[in-house]
Amino acid sequence: MKKNNINPSPEKLFFNNYDLIRASCVRGSSFGGGWHFHPEYELVLITKSRGTALIGDYVGSYSGNELYFTGVNLPHTWLTDNTIHTEEAEALVLHFKPDLFSRSFLEQTEFAPLQRFLNRSKFGVRLSKTAGENILHHFRQLLQAAGIEKLILILKILDYCSHEKKYSLLASEGFTANYERTSDEKLQEIFAFIEKNHSRKIHLNEVAKLANMQANAFCRYFKQKTNSSLIEFINKVRVGHACRLLLKYDLSIQEICYKSGFNTSSNFINQFRLRTNKTPKEYRDYYHDKLKL
């Protein structure tokens, strides 16, 4: 039987364009809200529940007092396991728009940890239970706060999280395919070119010409800026594209291979396994199985 696509659904959280912040306590048999994404950051402190977290292509168990931070438009949900958790589920949730902090604010030296924390969110971040326990009081205060007090509490919570040393990045680089902004406009132009043309053969000379460099000089420049060779970076983009296509069942793995820019199945499988520790088929089957589709 043909399985359904599992594209995440967009969710609208703010109906007033002037609102920047929303904090709430969610209770019920579950709190995941379905497989979804939204253009806001989300900080979730799970206070009562056990089950399975799905964030990008990450699948793992969660339990009480765990703290998660998901970035802009990163698909996610939490599936409560009611066979082992029978009491009402509860989570404290903070949503805020990227506009809450201006670029000039984040570029200040003292806010560098916050900037790094926001950058990590594109992968999804799981912080320690100790972190969850330590911010619980501020989070509960936040639910009742208004005005400047609300902003102060958010800054306290995010400041604590941004200095937490124990954390895990969840979604793979391949799935996110989202590269950090940089002041190097030349590099941003190269990223955009690769993203647009990854499905065809990209020649070193054409990318070097885009950067107005000789090939050897460009290779040194690109390696220094990205810590990857050009072909490594292109393959990373291609695998990321394949990860997203594998969430659908209307394309065969062979079709995905060519649509992602790989010329042979063997190269596709090798590059995919290198970056995900799974073959494309294992990746698709594992992910669909965890979503119970």
pLDDT score of 3: 45
Instruction: Report if residue 241 sits inside a domain.
Output: yes
Ramachandran bin of 76, using left for φ above 0, alpha for ψ from -120 to 50, beta for the remaining angles: beta
Instruction: Report if residue 276 sits inside a domain.
Output: yes
Chosen domain end from 140, 171, 202:
171
Instruction: Write the DSSP string, 31-47.
Output: ---SSEE-SSEEEEEEE
> Which residues in the chain show pLDDT less than 70?
1-8, 82-86, 173-184, 248-249, 290-293
* Token pair belonging to 210: 């885009």
Neighbours of 191 (CB within 10 A): 18
pLDDT score of 177: 57
Q: How many domains does the chain have?
A: 2
Asked if 162 and 189 sit in the same domain, the reply is: no
Q: Where are the alpha helices (DSSP H) in 79-229?
A: 103-106, 112-120, 129-144, 147-163, 173-176, 185-197, 204-210, 215-226
pLDDT score of 218: 94
3-class DSSP assignment, residue 58: strand
pLDDT score of 189: 85
Radius of gyration of the chain (CA): 21
pLDDT score of 290: 63
Q: What is the CATH number for 13?
A: 2.60.120.280
CA 34 to chain centre: 16
Taking CA atoms, 227 is separated from 36, 161, 163, 208, 219, in Å, by 32, 27, 25, 17, 11
In the numeric block, the tokens 């009480």 are attached to: 64
Greatest Cα pair distance in the chain: 65
Ramachandran bin of 262, using left for φ above 0, alpha for ψ from -120 to 50, beta for the remaining angles: beta
Question: What are 195-210's pLDDT values in tens digits?
Answer: 889 999 999 999 999 9
Asked if 20 and 97 sit in the same domain, the reply is: yes
3-class DSSP assignment, residue 96: strand
Q: In angstroms, rounded to a whole number, what is the distance separating the alpha carbons of residues 78 and 59? A: 10
Report the sign of the C-alpha dihedral through residues 229, 231, 233, 239, in that order. Answer: negative
Q: In angstroms, rounded to a whole number, what is the distance separating the alpha carbons of residues 36 and 190? A: 30
Chosen domain end from 124, 139, 171:
171
pLDDT score of 49: 87
* Token pair belonging to 120: 């990590």
pLDDT score of 82: 66
Q: What is the CATH number for 218?
A: 1.10.10.60
Chosen domain end from 171, 196, 221:
171
Structural domain harbouring 56: 9-171
Q: In angstroms, rounded to a whole number, what is the distance separating the alpha carbons of residues 55 and 175? A: 10
pLDDT score of 6: 56
* Global confidence as pTM: 0.70
The residue type found at 185 is E
